[in-house]
Structure 1
């Protein structure tokens, strides 16, 4: 089964390059993915329906993700 653009990835790569295999971690990752995808869809739809340029909103959302700080590094 191929993952669509809004489906979670079929494999979640670990920091060591090996796929995450813990069922509880995979469940949490899938739940988080679903929640984030819904929030992004809602925010994108609201913005576009309010007149924001689609390409501009995609850049805003992409920039937002790119700017997330790593939880492994001190702020």
Structure 2
């Protein structure tokens, strides 16, 4: 299983230190890992090329809009 980063860098370059924020980030990381793992497994079991599915999943992440841009 993928482990969350030891340090979550803030926009100012300093690590996020608030325990509650770090807890939420770790929970989000675990949820994202599980969803991505399930999507990859389902696709491969249905015959999708694994490398192609990994690329598709990466493109999804790369294409997410920034919540800072309005």
Same fold (TM over 0.5): yes
- What TM-score does the superposition give when structure 1 sets the normalisation length? 0.91
Runs of 5+ unmatched residues, structure 2: none
CA RMSD of aligned residues (A): 0.9
Runs of 5+ unmatched residues, structure 1: none
- What TM-score does the superposition give when structure 2 sets the normalisation length? 0.97
Larger relative contact order (Cα-Cα within 8 Å, sequence gap ≥ 6):
2
Cα distance in 2 for residues equivalent to 1:68 and 1:7: 22
Q: State the 4+ residue runs in structure 1 displaced beyond 6 angstroms.
A: none
